[in-house]
Amino acid sequence: MEAGRAVARPHYNPPMTNPKHASHLGQFAGLAIVVAACLLFGWQLKQPSVQARLFYLTGEERLASQLKGLSDLLVDGLRPRLNLATDAPVRYADLNPFGVNVFLNEEVDPAKREQTVQLAAAAGFHWLRQEFPWQDIEIHGKGDTQDRRNPPTRSAWDKYDQIVDLAGKYHMELIVRLSTPPAWSRAMTDTVGTFAPPDNYEDFGDFVYQVVSRYRGRIRFYQIWNEPNIYPEWGNYTISPEKYTELLKVGATRARAADPNVVIICGALASTIALQPAAPAPTNALNDLIFLQRMYDAGAAPYFDIMAMQDYGLWSGPTDRRMQPRVMNYGRPQFVRDLMVSNGDAGKPIWISEMAWNAVPDKVEDKRFGQVSLEQQAGYEPLAYQRALAEWPWAGVINTWYFKRAGDDWVKQGKPEAYFRLADPDFTLQPVYNSLKNYITSFTPTLYAGTHAPAGWAVQATGRWETVTASAAPYGQFWQSSQPGSKLEFTFSGNSLSLDARCGGPPSATVGGQADGQAGGPPSTATCGSLRVSVDGQKPVSLPVGGPVRRAGGILDLLPARPSNAGSVVAKNLAQGLHRAVIEVTETSAATPVALAALAVR
């Protein structure tokens, strides 16, 4: 893709492929043969369908770049396949995926804060990723939350209380980033960097405890730091995964002490190939994959529930499937996922803290974030969501970078960061805002290939359902019902649907040990109820739950004496595409409800 040139993006709706097969070498080899043949008839390469297919593979729009990208893909096919564990159940991956970064704390006028949230909600975003800067709350000293920078003196919490109230008013959720220490937390103050970590990590832990305690029950997701693998977020200090792990441990431990229900998000790693952690600032940085592996080696795994990273598209579109560790593109989260799987963390998701393409104008010299036209930016960002939803079942929330800034300092300073925005400081909306709004508000929540929680954002529940903790369940709990007529309905994309249906347990109980969800003793051979499952309104399938069942010749083929129907296929050989499923509880026993532990789409 050539910088600074507005070109028409080939229209292409990516097929709903199984992520396990999305990058097979055979696909590329076959395409290479087709392209080679087409070279004999060069005019065919200019056909919209061929260029659209090449865009789908390479993220490039110009023919020469597409052919170069195709050769890169063929080389990629010679490398070992990544292990993405696409069938693994992943917690916090079935939530509403649409988020946006905001700078509400920078707005002096409370009305402008509300206008920002109102516009974000109108666009369909569910999440607001907002920093609660430590330096803006404990401003003058440890434990001092009075703001005396400008008269009259006021509580530093007032602004953040309003932000929390606004999220609730517009039915949105906050992802709160905790970072940016005050100068007093370092003996060398800000001379070692405005964002540098504190001298005493326990001071940070005390701040975390204050925030989480204050908003207990109102904010659940907290992110500990941002980009600890690069300058300036680790200040002038040597980049150290081990020290960040220590900071993460302190922050996570104090957050969980304040509210056991919080979910801890790792500080988002910046994608970089840099290998000079001890270089003088501002060149101190460390490759994200090396940084993460050293975090695991330092024992970081228990201290985060969600992995996070930045995912900027830079010079190619969101469909770029080239996978080269030293080349940055939108597909980079797959490298991080592979590393997580190799470290036994397949059950955790990756959330993308910042996703965007930079529509920097030609007059701005600094183009380190790549360059696309406003038209391309508006087309790429919705497509980025679609690719992640359709192909990465281990990905969770994706936060667009960013809604707006309060002032235009970045524009005046000629910084390319100014051109990621969805709106100008005066609330002039950019084309990308409208394209994202059109995409999100018209999107049908869909379960794509992978394993899913039965209570995810794409599943609509009616009747009476409850959750019960279950240590043996894939997601740590069952979703169960003892009321006939209770339903779960959802749209899925694939050619088969399986259920993990089991006998549940008493409400508010912890069910553990046995695969069938019983609290102990031998597996039960009696049914605890039944489900009726229909797909696309076709003849429903009756599924007894808990006892020995065999349905030869039907959709179900369960082994005799099987204590649960985990993995029961209820629909198969469907046409690839969107389907509508309805799961209805038809009967239950008086003592034991029917429970669902997982759904699987293939």
Which has more confidence, 11 or 297?
297
Q: What is the model's pTM?
A: 0.89
Q: What is the largest CA-CA distance in the chain?
A: 79
Q: Is the pLDDT of residue 520 over 50?
A: no
Per the prediction, the chain carries an average pLDDT of 87
Strand order in the sheet with 307-312: 263-268, 221-226, 173-179, 127-133, 98-101, 395-400, 350-356, 307-312
E-only strand ranges, 167-253: 173-179, 221-226
Q: What is the pLDDT of residue 17?
A: 44
The predicted model gives 491-517 an average pLDDT of 67
Q: What is the pLDDT of residue 424?
A: 98
One-letter amino acid at 306 equals I
> Where are the domains positioned within the chain?
19-76, 98-443, 450-601
> Per-residue pLDDT tens for 6-32?
333 434 344 444 554 444 444 555 555
Cβ(342)–Cβ(83) under 8 Å? yes
> Per-residue pLDDT tens for 170-180?
999 999 999 99
Q: What is the pLDDT of residue 475?
A: 92
**What contacts 452, CB < 8 A, 6 or more positions away?**
89, 94, 393, 458, 459, 598, 599, 600, 601
For 450-601, CATH gives: 2.60.120.260
Q: Is 168 exposed, middle or buried (0-12, 13-18, 19+ CB in 10 A)?
A: exposed
Q: What is the pLDDT of residue 545?
A: 73
User: What does the alpha-carbon distance between residue 163 and residue 440 come to, in Å, rounded to a whole number?
Assistant: 23
Q: What is the pLDDT of residue 30?
A: 53
Whether residue 48 has a cis bond before it, omega within 30° of 0: no
Which has more confidence, 491 or 550?
491
The predicted model gives 296-300 an average pLDDT of 98
Cβ(281)–Cβ(227) under 8 Å? no
Q: What is the pLDDT of residue 546?
A: 64
Q: What is the pLDDT of residue 529?
A: 83
Structure-token pair, residue 69: 């990208």
- Percent of the chain surpassing pLDDT 70: 85
For 98-443, CATH gives: 3.20.20.80
pLDDT grade for 35, boundaries at 50, 70 and 90:
low
pLDDT grade for 567, boundaries at 50, 70 and 90:
low
One-letter amino acid at 358 equals N
Structure-token pair, residue 21: 């097969």
> Per-residue pLDDT tens for 370-424?
999 999 999 999 999 999 999 999 999 999 999 999 999 999 999 999 999 999 9
pLDDT grade for 163, boundaries at 50, 70 and 90:
very high
The predicted model gives 521-539 an average pLDDT of 72
Closest C-alpha among 105, 211, 140 to residue 148: 140
Q: Is the pLDDT of residue 522 over 50?
A: no
Which has more confidence, 521 or 590?
590
User: What does the alpha-carbon distance between residue 309 and residue 289 come to, in Å, rounded to a whole number?
Assistant: 11
User: What does the alpha-carbon distance between residue 440 and residue 112 come to, in Å, rounded to a whole number?
Assistant: 23
> Per-residue pLDDT tens for 325-342?
888 999 999 999 999 999
Q: Is the pLDDT of residue 247 over 80?
A: yes
Q: What is the pLDDT of residue 316?
A: 96
φ, ψ at 221 (rounded to 5°): -110, 120
Q: Is the pLDDT of residue 512 over 60?
A: no
Cβ(430)–Cβ(419) under 8 Å? no
* Same fold across 98-443 and 450-601: no
Cβ(28)–Cβ(74) under 8 Å? yes
User: What does the alpha-carbon distance between residue 454 and residue 390 come to, in Å, rounded to a whole number?
Assistant: 18
Contacts within 8 Å (CB) and 24+ apart, 538-545: 540/582, 540/584, 541/570, 541/571, 542/586, 543/499, 543/501, 543/568, 543/570, 545/501, 545/502, 545/503, 545/594, 545/595
Q: Is the pLDDT of residue 534 over 60?
A: yes
Structure-token pair, residue 139: 């401003």
Least confident of 68-77, 176-185, 404-413: 68-77
Q: Is the pLDDT of residue 519 over 70?
A: no
